[in-house]
Structure 1
């Protein structure tokens, strides 16, 4: 049986123009309120749920649209959630005028996710931050706090010109 899904997103240049104008934490708090979420969040259906300095949490309710051919959530969905959580944990600790980009992401898949898993939560935290790089981790949990996957990410830090 054919299924379909539609979604909408807002102009990503609005948020991109705000990067660097304020601290990373203030920027991410704005994404929770006045700034539009990135289009990837609408595409996959995940949201930034909370952010504080050095920590970011994303949530996703898995659906069939996330499945791979063997009937469970595709590893790329896990990786996207973990990359978002780790990267935003780094961003949350940056001062105004600084940006970041992921240099690598190492993911370990521990348990399968299906629609029966229910809401999952990706929690990113900073492990170490220097002047040029930061190391972060992210953990993916189910509603019973069982660890589903783990990732580490190295991020490059650099000055940005406010849009």
Structure 2
């Protein structure tokens, strides 16, 4: 059974919190935003959009964007989509991450955009799906996640 959608004010508060956390990481040179160049474009009720401009920090030995970087982009966006649907004080962690790689990307390639949507948000678990596309709209990778919802201690 899907959990009740949080009130709009709660969604807005969670989006603000998510934005604040991400921007702090950039300012303080912490996290995947700073180290890989991931950027949050937007987030709302059950969705999130992040982007990545491939750069030297994201390449593998084949001089293409590393699959782990693409997985991180998906994980970040899908987790954020779920986060927008959680009540205040509730956290989460990834239980499972599934990624399907469709095509490789060179570091000189176009901006990658990841759109993610929460599919189910319950009391204990959540699921989400995401897609990474290039500037031409070509599918680069898609994935899904199962998330453990961490309720605050009573």
**What TM-score do you get using the length of structure 1 for normalisation?**
0.78
Aligned partner of 2:7 in structure 1 is: none
CA contact (8 A) 2:59 2:107 kept: no
Residue 68, structure 1, aligned to residue 60, structure 2: yes
Task: Name the CA distance, whole Å, in 2 between partners of 1:36 and 1:64.
Answer: 20
Residue 89, structure 1, aligned to residue 81, structure 2: yes
Residue 43, structure 1, aligned to residue 69, structure 2: no
Aligned partner of 1:140 in structure 2 is: 132
* Mapping for residues 17-56 of structure 1, pairs under 5 Å: 23-31=13-21, 35-37=24-26, 38-56=30-48
Residue 152, structure 1, aligned to residue 144, structure 2: yes
Which moves more between the two structures, 86-95 or 22-31? 22-31
Task: Name the CA distance, whole Å, in 2 between partners of 1:101 and 1:86.
Answer: 11
Task: Name the CA distance, whole Å, in 2 between partners of 1:31 and 1:102.
Answer: 18
Task: Structure 1: state its 5+ residue gaps.
Answer: 1-21
Q: How many residues align?
A: 139
CA contact (8 A) 1:32 1:49 kept: no
Once the two structures are superposed, what CA deviation does each residue of 1:1-33 show, in whole Å capped at 9, x if it has no partner? xxxxxxxxxxxxxxxxxxxxx943331243466
Task: Structure 2: state its 5+ residue gaps.
Answer: 1-11
Q: What is the Cα deviation at residue 64 of structure 1?
A: 2.7
Once the two structures are superposed, what CA deviation does each residue of 1:46-81 show, in whole Å capped at 9, x if it has no partner? 111111010111111002331111121110100000
Aligned partner of 2:115 in structure 1 is: 123
CA contact (8 A) 1:90 1:136 kept: yes
C-alpha RMSD over aligned residues: 1.8
